[in-house]
């Protein structure tokens, strides 16, 4: 559950959050399910400067209160740096396991296994990684490079770009950009879930050449 709010309206957002949880609990009860406050985590997301302005340390959840945490797990995703650390640790473990049998496998078999156990982890929720620091991107890219060398048998000194091109693998940063581009395209063409499509009104760009002879772009709403 996500609520966007200015810092000055944080208290009102907490009250809105409490009411939303009540509605969620009522819906779950109708299906003979329960919301477990003991497993509920709440955190503030924002810049360090904005977070310093907040003095709310706990929020009400049903009949109890939950303390604000610095990182929270949601579908396997924690804070970005923690998420990158977990992904790198998990993938390197899978690569170490695969390296013991790599010589007995064909390149196609290794590629299939790496796609199943490595690439899927790099791609999981990677749209959230858009705009992260170059250092975090490089950590993920190092993981992909190691996987590519394992599949092809390339040496550590070999340039990695031709290896990735041979495997038809986009680098990590381009995989993130591609994921977002596909998501935005589907949202603009009503191919995505309604909660995404409704927030992306379609528009087109019209090319006009003014008196200066330089082209200018005007965004024209389509609906």
Is the pLDDT at 82 greater than 90? The verdict is: no
Lowest mean pLDDT among 93-97, 188-192, 200-204: 200-204
What are 60's two structure tokens?
A: 């009400």
Paired with 66 in beta bridges are: 59
Residues in Cβ contact with 196 at an 8 Å cutoff, skipping those fewer than 6 apart: 183, 186, 187
Banded model confidence at residue 96, pLDDT cuts 50, 70, 90: very high
pLDDT at 167: 93
pLDDT at 213: 55
Banded model confidence at residue 49, pLDDT cuts 50, 70, 90: confident
Nearest to 67 by CA among 43, 36, 50: 43
- How does the average pLDDT of the chain come out, rounded? 83
pLDDT at 91: 93
């Amino acid at each position: 559950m996500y609520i966007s709010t200015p810092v000055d309206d944080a208290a009102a957002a907490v009250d809105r959050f409490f009411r939303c949880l009540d509605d969620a609990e009522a819906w779950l009860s109708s299906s003979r399910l329960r919301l477990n406050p003991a497993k509920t985590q709440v955190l503030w997301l924002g810049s360090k400067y904005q977070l310093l302005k907040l003095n709310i340390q706990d929020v009400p959840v049903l009949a109890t209160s939950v303390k604000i945490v610095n990182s929270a797990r949601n579908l396997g995703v924690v804070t970005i740096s923690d998420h990158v650390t977990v992904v790198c640790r998990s993938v390197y473990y899978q690569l170490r396991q695969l390296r013991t049998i790599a010589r007995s496998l064909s390149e196609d078999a290794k590629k299939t296994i790496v796609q199943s156990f490595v690439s899927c982890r790099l791609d999981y929720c990677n749209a959230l990684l858009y705009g992260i620091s170059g250092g975090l991107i490089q950590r993920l890219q190092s993981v992909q490079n190691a996987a590519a060398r394992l599949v092809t048998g390339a040496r550590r000194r070999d340039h990695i770009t031709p290896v990735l091109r041979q495997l038809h693998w986009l680098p990590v940063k381009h995989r993130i950009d591609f994921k977002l581009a596909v998501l935005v395209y589907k949202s603009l063409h009503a191919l995505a879930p309604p909660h995404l499509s409704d927030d992306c009104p379609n528009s087109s760009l019209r090319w006009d050449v003014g008196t200066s002879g330089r082209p200018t772009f005007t965004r024209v709403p389509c609906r």
